[in-house]
Amino acid sequence: MSLLSCAGLQKTFPNGTVALRGVDLEIEPGEIRALVGANGAGKSTMIKIVSGAVPPSAGELRWKGRPVTWHSPRDANRDGLSTLHQHVELVSTLSIEDNVFLRDAGLWRNSRARRRRFVELADSVGLAHLDPGKPVSELAVAERQMVGMLQALEGDPQLIIMDEPTAALAGHERALVFDVVRRLKEAGRAVVYVSHLLDEVRDLSDTITVLRDGRVVWDGRNSDISDAELVREIVGRDVSELDHYDSVLRADAPVVVRAADVGARAETNRVSLEVRAGEVVGIAGLLGSGRSTLLRSMFGDVKRVGELRILDKPVGRTPAAAMRSGVALVPEDRVAEGLVSDWSIAANTSLPSLARLSRGRVLPKRRAERELAETAVRALGIRAQSTATPVNSLSGGNAQKVLLAKWLLSKPALLLLDEPTQGVDVGAKAEIRACIKDSASDGLSVIVVSSEFDQLLAMCDRILVLRRGAIVADLPNNREVTEPLLMALASGL
């Protein structure tokens, strides 16, 4: 008997958007099922329906053979289904242990029993190293993800849905997640693993379900489909031509950006680098290498030491001063820092350009704001009903394009990109890379951080390897530079 059975699931939202079109799915005990698809394919809606967050418009859910109607995630939790979301929501002021048992705090009045349960739970999935009393506010991204995983496992679920659990993690942190997934399988639990990282899908899953435009277009065993076939099923086309790296840098391109001993005041290491007009410079580094901190210090988001110059003019040490000098930063967390989620595409893309659009007015001219957004929608291939569409109704890939457009429309001299292709599907990755390279061909200088080294190899003219806050290699991007080489340099092997 299947653990979870979905039959004919459909979902149409009040605005007329059809997200699911008759999806059938069977999950067996002890199975690792990968759920993949392009942004907007219906994965998020599928997860919400199965976890009880939203009701289907039609179709049926069966849990262990009996029909169920879950009105909330708590209902699903009670029956034995739990969800680990991509963006883990924790209470920063509470400890790791408090967060793990937050949903059932009333059941754990005995602190000693709760501590024993925490130790037992953490040990069962190889996370015994976590300090239960440590405040969540002091945790790195990878550690927060592990706490979210323990929270999802706390009720001893039989099926765990993991939505992009490694999207914000580097290679060695991902290995911890893989170990947890395999331990769950050995214990007879089922996992629905949602990921845009196809190497993870291939390594972990027993079976794969591909969604496209709200329909299941492929469903079967992992071993029955090739990498090329899987990509074609996901995007509905061949993206190989977009994946080919083709440098656009001119040999005589002038130096635009000079950084001398730049870094965050709170850190000890300093970085010096140069970027030419039209050059895309990649920074390869593992989590904790200082890659994001370097970009934030250049933007003035953290206190900076050292000297940063653009076109031989000094750049101020605040975000406002950096923006006046032509520096733009696309942050890693588009939800919390990059976009105002309930605002429209037009309102978001116009934010850095308000002074130009307002021309002395308190608010920007709506027509100018709309025309600017329409330019971005066309240029980046943003899929939305109109520029009035709220950003929180877009898929992850389209939301990322809005964030990229927001800063490109400000016409910067230096664009700093922190994980621009993180958590988006293979087709959107290719489109974002193409947009970055097109912008560079117009003379824009770009520095891009990515934990996905294959993405750096597909878009950069040069790659710097950062380890413990210091540049340990400066490599021209040619066929001799490979992912294993970058990983070895970044990890100190």
Rounded distance, CA 350 to CA 348, Å?
Answer: 5
pLDDT of residue 397: 80
Q: For the chain, how many structural domains are there in total? A: 2
pLDDT of residue 353: 67
DSSP classification of residue 315: P
At residue 460, φ and ψ (nearest 5 deg) are: -100, 150
DSSP 38-89: -TTSSHHHHHHHHTTSS--SEEEEEETTEEE--SSHHHHHHHTEEEE-SS--
Together in a domain, 193 and 227: yes
Together in a domain, 206 and 190: yes
User: Nearest CA to 428 among 369, 380, 356, 475?
Assistant: 380
pLDDT of residue 203: 93
Average pLDDT over residues 142-154: 85
Please name the amino acid found at residue 372. Answer: L
Instruction: Quote the domain boundaries for residue 124.
Output: 4-238
Is the confidence at residue 84, as pLDDT, over 80? yes
Per-residue pLDDT band for 246 (boundaries 50, 70, 90) equals: low
Together in a domain, 41 and 147: yes
Rounded distance, CA 139 to CA 141, Å?
Answer: 7
Query: How many Cα atoms occupy the beta-carbon half-sphere of 319 within 13 Å?
Result: 10
Together in a domain, 214 and 303: no
Rounded distance, CA 411 to CA 402, Å?
Answer: 15
Q: Is-contact 378 359, C-beta < 8 A?
A: no
Rounded distance, CA 79 to CA 50, Å?
Answer: 12
Is the confidence at residue 25, as pLDDT, over 90? yes
Q: Which residues contact 488 (CB under 8 A, 6 or more apart)?
A: none
Rounded distance, CA 175 to CA 482, Å?
Answer: 20
Percent with pLDDT over 90 in the chain: 39
Task: Decide which of 238, 254, 272 is a domain's last residue.
Answer: 238
SS3 422: coil
Q: How high is the mean pLDDT of the chain?
A: 85
Give the CATH number, domain containing residue 448: 3.40.50.300
Task: Decide which of 185, 214, 238 is a domain's last residue.
Answer: 238
User: Nearest CA to 263 among 486, 488, 468?
Assistant: 468
Please name the amino acid found at residue 207. Answer: T
pLDDT of residue 31: 97
Task: Decide which of 238, 272, 295 is a domain's last residue.
Answer: 238
Is the confidence at residue 267, as pLDDT, over 90? no
Together in a domain, 155 and 258: no
User: Nearest CA to 326 among 336, 335, 316?
Assistant: 316
Mean pLDDT is lowest, of 2-11, 23-32, 117-126, 323-332, for 117-126
pLDDT of residue 475: 92
Rounded distance, CA 150 to CA 97, Å?
Answer: 9
Q: To which residue do tokens 């059809």 refer? A: 18
Together in a domain, 8 and 128: yes
pLDDT digits (tens, 9 = 90+) for 173-194: 788 889 889 999 999 999 999 9
Is the confidence at residue 242, as pLDDT, over 50? no
SS3 assignment for 141-185: HHHHHHHHHHHHHCCCCCEEEEECCCCCCCHHHHHHHHHHHHHHH
Q: Which residue has the higher pLDDT, 382 or 33?
A: 33
Q: To which residue do tokens 């979210």 refer? A: 148
Together in a domain, 303 and 381: yes
Is the confidence at residue 238, as pLDDT, over 60? no
pLDDT of residue 241: 46
Rounded distance, CA 134 to CA 254, Å?
Answer: 49
pLDDT digits (tens, 9 = 90+) for 393-405: 787 788 888 888 8
pLDDT of residue 465: 92
Is the confidence at residue 235, as pLDDT, over 80? no
The helix or strand, by DSSP H or E, that contains position 398, with its residue range, turns out to be: helix 396-408
DSSP 327-355: EEEE-S-IIIII--TTSBHHHHHHGGGHH
Q: Which residues contact 484 (CB under 8 A, 6 or more apart)?
A: none
Q: Which residue has the higher pLDDT, 406 or 224?
A: 224
pLDDT of residue 362: 47
Together in a domain, 269 and 222: no
pLDDT of residue 491: 67
Q: Which residues contact 194 (CB under 8 A, 6 or more apart)?
A: 34, 35, 36, 43, 47, 161, 162, 163, 164
pLDDT of residue 354: 59
Q: Is-contact 108 100, C-beta < 8 A?
A: no
Is the confidence at residue 164, as pLDDT, over 60? yes
Together in a domain, 232 and 257: no
Q: Is 168 left (phi over 0), alpha (psi -120 to 50) or beta?
A: alpha
Is the confidence at residue 160, as pLDDT, over 60? yes
User: Nearest CA to 346 among 309, 393, 389?
Assistant: 389
pLDDT digits (tens, 9 = 90+) for 421-437: 887 777 888 888 988 99
Strand pairing class (207-212; 32-37): parallel
SS3 235: helix
Together in a domain, 343 and 267: yes
Q: Is-contact 331 337, C-beta < 8 A?
A: yes
pLDDT of residue 106: 60
Q: Which spans in 206-275 are helix H?
A: 227-235, 240-243
Mean pLDDT is lowest, of 183-187, 290-294, 384-388, 466-470, for 384-388
Q: What is the dihedral of CA 393, 397, 399, 404, to 10 degrees?
A: -170
Together in a domain, 79 and 179: yes
Is the confidence at residue 364, as pLDDT, over 60? no
Average pLDDT over residues 360-389: 72
Together in a domain, 226 and 247: no
Is the confidence at residue 360, as pLDDT, over 60? no
Is the confidence at residue 357, as pLDDT, over 60? no
Give the range with max mean pLDDT: 141-150, 230-239, 354-363: 141-150
Rounded distance, CA 210 to CA 233, Å?
Answer: 7
Is the confidence at residue 144, as pLDDT, over 80? yes
